[in-house]
Amino acid sequence: MNDHIEHDAVILAGGAARRLGGADKPALSVGGRALLDRVLAACPGAVTTVVVGPGRPTARAVVRALEDPPGGGPLAALDAGLRHTTAAVVLALSADLPFLTPATVRTLLEAAEGAADGALLQDAAGKDQPLIAAYRAASLRRELAEVRAEHGTLAGLPLRAVTNRLVLARIKDAAATASFDCDTWEALSAARARIREHGLVLDEWITAVKAELGIELDVDTAALLDLARDAAHGVARPAAPLTTFLIGYAAGRQDRDVKVLSDQVAALAHRWAAETEQAADAPDAGATGAEAKPAE
């Protein structure tokens, strides 16, 4: 994350979720983590994070807000959240984005710096996503005030009533991942299947475990897997999980880099394996190079 871009975040976590039968959408899980927590993980650098909607548990501390009137729609919710922020740039995010990443957030923040009023993401079809965006707070407050003055309220109005007034940079989500949302049960099922695909499942699992344990330890998955393979091959199969556990324990207790510790123990595993091979190739320890003479 570009820490020099000071920003707040407003996450909209209300709505009736009619296409989900009224389920509490932000609390639904993908990869064992609530959708809301996945979005929170994508914006860890926010000075203040405001969640607008009914109170529910979250993985980290947030400021709570509720739109006026309750159920007044996304524009009213955005206004309610904005009232708790002070940074010059504000992320506006919906709470149902399972694949939003810090990298996408960083891209939006950088684009907002060079734009008049901010930047938003476009999905693969080119449709604007106003709740995957970084806005200049002053611009957003100005236009919200003008729309309220014109209509007498923000309740029931669409987000475009404000975003159409802003000059925004647009970032294309060509991979159609960050803009993927879970508005239906089918979409939720697709998201749950996606994280189990080859190439994604290990990173998703490690991220989920770290979130569950409340740790920030960087994990070099490739290095640990290599180490586990070496330990299993050169020592014994049960050595693999036990060794990786010890690496993590040592990294946490000693505040050391996992990659450095993995390399250190991998070298040990190679030495162990080499000794095992040498022992297997050595002649019988009891042999002298000639047949033993039978006792007289």
- Predicted pLDDT of residue 290: 44
CA distance 261 to 251: 7
Return the bridge partners of 170, or none: 120
pLDDT at 89: 97
Give the chain's end-to-end CA distance (angstroms, integer).
83
Give the total residue count for the chain: 296
69 cis-preceded (ω within 30 degrees of 0): yes
From CA 121, how far away is CA 101, in angstroms rounded? 13
User: What pLDDT was estimated at residue 248?
Assistant: 84
Please give the chain's pLDDT, 296 residues, in tens.
Answer: 445 789 999 999 986 667 777 778 899 999 999 999 999 999 999 999 999 998 889 989 999 999 988 889 999 999 999 999 999 999 999 999 999 999 999 999 999 998 999 999 999 999 999 999 999 999 999 999 999 999 999 999 999 999 999 999 999 998 889 999 998 999 999 999 999 887 788 888 888 888 877 777 777 778 888 888 888 888 888 888 888 888 888 888 888 888 888 888 888 888 888 877 777 777 664 444 444 444 44
The phi, psi pair for 230, rounded to 5°, reads -65, -40
Structure confidence at residue 220 (pLDDT): 77
Whole-number Cα distances in Å, 208 to 37, 161, 199, 216, 274: 10, 38, 15, 11, 36
User: What residues does 33 pair with on adjacent strands?
Assistant: 30
Give 180's Cβ-side CA count (13 Å radius): 21
- The DSSP bridge pattern shows strands 33-34 and 168-172 to be unpaired
Categorise residue 214: left if φ over 0, alpha if ψ from -120 to 50, beta otherwise: left
Whole-angstrom Cα distance, residue 149 to residue 53?
24
Side chain identity at residue 49, one-letter code: T
DSSP string, 20-88: GTT--GGG-EETTEEHHHHHHHH-TT-SSEEEESS----SS--EEE--SSTT--HHHHHHHHHTT--SS
Residue 290, Cβ density class (10 Å: 0-12 exposed, 13-18 middle, ≥19 buried): exposed
Q: Strand, coil or helix: what is 232?
A: helix
Is residue 35 within 8 A of residue 95, CB to CB? The reply is: yes
d(CA 179, CA 131): 9
Which of 17, 16, 38, 65 shows the shortest CA–CA distance to 185?
Answer: 17
pLDDT of residue 161: 95
Burial of 78-109, coded b for 16+ CB within 10 Å and e otherwise, reads: bbbbbebbeeebbbbbbbbbbbbeeebbbbbb
Model pLDDT, residue 284: 60
**DSSP states along 158-181:** -THHHHTTS-EEEEE-TTS-TT--
Q: What value, to the nearest 5°, has the Cα angle with vertex 143 and ends 14 and 174? A: 65
